Amino acid sequence: DNQYIAYVAYPLDLFEEGSVTNLFTSIVGNVFGFKAFRALRLEDLRIPLSYVKTFQGPPHGIEVERDKLNKYGRPYLGCTIKPKLGLSAKNYGRAVYEGLRGGLDFTKDDENVNSQPFMRWRDRFLFVAEA
């Protein structure tokens, strides 16, 4: 069968306090894309109460987002812009524009995208805001 169970523990210092995004990106982000694994499943996740208490929750609920976008009665549709590296800020903004024109409600940066010399955050922000 070649099935195995692995128990993995991480020190809490690896994670930003209060960041659900950082926690899950670190734990399951790119691990599921490893080609060495034919199948991988997360069976259980235990988060210490001391760390859980650092989460403040969202500033508002989905209804506020629905009111802002004036979209009701269906799930939102979004995507991560790809390729995650190599696009200029202008081309990144163009990809966002085309996605939104094609029916997406939102796009998001890949977790690996930050402020690289070929695509600074501010430049990317301005082109995306224009989209």
Which of 36, 37, 14 is closest to 27 using CA atoms?
14
Q: Beta strand pairing status for 78-80 and 106-108?
A: parallel
Query: Residue 100: which H helix or E strand, with range?
Result: helix 89-101
pLDDT of residue 29: 73
pLDDT of residue 35: 73
What whole-number distance in Å separates Cα of residue 114 and Cα of residue 36? Answer: 27
Q: In the 8-state DSSP scheme, what is residue 79?
A: E
pLDDT of residue 84: 75
CB-count exposure of residue 23 (10 Å: 0-12, 13-18, 19+): buried
pLDDT of residue 30: 67
Domain boundaries, the chain: 12-52, 62-130
In one-letter notation, the amino acid at residue 64 is V
pTM over 0.85: no
Average pLDDT for consecutive 10-residue bins of the chain (131 residues)?
Answer: 84 88 80 74 90 88 90 93 87 96 92 81 94 88
